[in-house]
């Protein structure tokens, strides 16, 4: 997981937990949240969920790109190894 995406996801999760904890604390204290407060909390939670989904999508895209780059690197390494082997064989035949 890339560091910025991890930090963003961690921040979103922490903020969500704080919001939920405040709502629970208010309910336990007997101070039921007003409808407007609950609506604001719900809206924030939805925004955080959307941001977390975006972060997960970004992470999935980056993982796919990394896998593709690894395949390309493996292919390039095989080509270079084949070229080295051919030149080593060719050089050996000329000397012998």
Q: Which residues contact 81 (CB under 8 A, 6 or more apart)?
A: none
Number of domains, the chain: 1
DSSP strand E in 1-96: where? none
Q: Which residues contact 48 (CB under 8 A, 6 or more apart)?
A: 12, 15, 16
pLDDT digits (tens, 9 = 90+) for 10-52: 888 888 888 888 777 777 666 656 778 788 888 988 998 898 8
pTM: 0.53
Confidence of residue 95 (pLDDT cuts 50, 70, 90): very low
- Write down the pLDDT at residue 68: 97
Report which of 39, 45, 52, 47 is spatially closest to residue 10, judged by C-alpha positions.
Answer: 52
| C-beta separation of 55 from 8 below 8 A | yes
Q: Which domain holds residue 48?
A: 3-95
Maximum C-alpha span of the chain? 95
């Amino acid at each position: 997981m890339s560091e910025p995406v991890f930090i963003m996801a961690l921040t979103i999760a922490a903020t969500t937990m704080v919001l939920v904890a405040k709502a629970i604390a208010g309910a336990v204290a007997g101070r039921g949240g007003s409808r407007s407060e609950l609506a604001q909390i719900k809206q924030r939670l939805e925004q955080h969920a959307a941001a977390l989904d975006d972060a997960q999508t970004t992470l999935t895209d980056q993982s796919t790109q990394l896998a593709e780059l690894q395949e390309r690197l493996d292919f390039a390494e095989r080509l270079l190894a084949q070229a080295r082997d051919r030149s080593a064989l060719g050089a050996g035949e000329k000397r012998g």
